Amino acid sequence: MSKTALDHLLTRRSVSANSLGEPGPSEAELRQILTAAARVPDHKKLVPWRFVLFQGEARAAFGKVLATICREEETDPGAFRLENEAKRFLRAPVVIAVVSRVVENKAAPEWEQILSVGAACQNLIVAATSLGFGAQWITEWCAYSPGVRQALGLTPNERIAGFVYVGTAKEKPGERERPELADIVSAWRP
């Protein structure tokens, strides 16, 4: 790993979806980001993930779908909540739904496939931030909603691993507390 890549990993910081704006990645940059996301460990080459892009007008259109689903699934969500749901995907120029797709394979257990999806999400973020964009991987209620699953055409073996928001950071995020290595690392001894 080059020094530049290591420096990036040691300083990378998520940017809140609410703190992202234009411009978003170009088509060429987005292709790079998605290509990096697909270059993760994938035991048995099952490709246990896929990506759904929301850009341009599709973000507002899906926001209307989210508001409708919220109204159907929540008890009295209120006008303010529904308005926020309609604007949810407008927080960033690009929103990428990462779909986990478990494939039956005895040689590659479900757990390994789910880990591969997590690696794809992390690569999305690292690739986007290495290109100078801000990014955040979040789930929120819509990742667990049966109505959203249906709206995205998910099959029974699929679920949403999260939504990755990508755009330009309106301001640089501050550093947050990280765990001390002494608290999370141990050496096995016979």
Residue-level pLDDT at 174: 85
Q: How far apart are CA 63 and CA 148, in angstroms?
A: 11
Q: What fold characterizes domain 11-55+90-171?
A: NADH Oxidase (3.40.109)
pLDDT in tens, the chain (190 residues): 566 888 888 888 999 999 999 999 999 999 999 999 999 999 999 999 999 999 999 999 999 999 999 999 999 999 999 999 999 999 999 999 999 999 999 999 999 999 999 999 999 999 999 999 999 999 999 999 999 999 999 999 999 999 999 999 998 888 889 999 999 999 999 9
- Report domain extents, the chain: 11-55+90-171
Q: How far apart are CA 77 and CA 149, in angstroms?
A: 20
3-state helix, strand, coil in the chain (%, to 5): 50, 20, 35
CB burial class (10 A; 0-12, 13-18, 19+) of residue 33?
buried
Question: Could you tell me if residue 132 is left (phi over 0), alpha (psi between -120 and 50 degrees) or otherwise beta?
Answer: left
Q: How far apart are CA 95 and CA 81, in angstroms?
A: 20
Residue-level pLDDT at 69: 98
Cβ(43)–Cβ(112) under 8 Å?
yes
Q: How far apart are CA 44 and CA 107, in angstroms?
A: 7
Within 8 A by CB and 6+ apart from 63, the residues are 85, 86, 87, 88, 89, 90
